[in-house]
Amino acid sequence: MSLASHYATSRCAISFELFPPKTEAGLASLCESVRRLTQFQPSFFTCTYGAGGSTQGTTLDVLRKVREITNLPVASHLTCVNATVPQLESYLQAAMAQGTDYIVALRGDPPKGSDRFEAVEGGLRYANELVELIRSKFPDFGIAVAGYPEVHQEAPDAKTDLDNLKRKVDAGADVVITQLFYQNDDFYRFRDSCAAAGIRVPVVPGILPVTNFKQALRIASMCKASIPDALRVAMTQSDDPHDQFKVGVDHARRQTIDLKNNDVPGIHYYVLNKSEAAEALLDGLQMVG
């Protein structure tokens, strides 16, 4: 099944993002979360990898496990960080041989200790170049790319950021999946801007159900996502972990309902290898039609 076809029906397609665990216990916990999340009939799962490609092998192991558990399509993240073109091609070949269906093609964040991205000799500088490589050498992969409702933190302005996204789509991306956001109006403005720029592929919102205020602050600082005043106030009214969990889940549930009511083609959930928050926010929601 092609990546774009998941978003071509009346169903609001759901996908979940995982990351490679560091221990056998972590892998067992991830597998149990995947089993629990399948009750919501996701279209596919994605898996990231560590900075600079440090866990690429583990990423493919995770995706193999997910396929064994769910028999669903899987997508591997791939970045340009610390990788030559032959290294990228080697990973793509391994991913294809293992049955990976899609690639989430990213430039990647600067390596730890650096404040700017530098391509290695023989590597790629931009995500659109990675999309071009995949489309030309591995055309059977579906390709997703990242979009930024609140503008990429390295972009000088929204127009430049949107121009960069258009280049990725024009290079052959099938779907845009956005960075997380906490205010749906930010996504709707971004979606309108994409349409005005001639971006015709599905634009899929990314949602992270925060479960405590420290987590919300940390993640917001990393990706420059603004936290609405109402959510900030609600999460600081109690130090009880259960109260903060409920506030974060309720907020993500309201986001989900509003997004579906505004005809998004799907929603991508960043679940941090845990199922509890996603289960709670999706419980009882009808995501079809």
Positions marked catalytic: 17
- C-alpha distance across the termini of the chain, in Å: 20
CA contacts within 13 A on the Cβ side of 30: 26
- Torsion angle, CA of 121/126/131/137, rounded to 10 degrees? -20
Tokens 């489309």 found at: 135
- Do you know the residue count of the chain? 289
Tell me if residue 271 falls in helix, strand or coil: coil
Q: Which is it for strands 44-47 and 13-18: parallel, antiparallel or unpaired?
A: parallel
Instruction: Check residue 157 and report its DSSP letter.
Output: S
Tell me the residue type at 79: T
DSSP result, 33-72: HHHHHGGG--SEEEE---GGGTTHHHHHHHHHHHHHHH--
Query: What are φ and ψ of residue 45, in 5° steps?
Result: -115, 150
Q: Are 130 and 105 in contact (CB under 8 A)?
A: yes
Separation between Cα atoms, residue 108 and residue 77, nearest integer Å: 10
Separation between Cα atoms, residue 263 and residue 272, nearest integer Å: 26
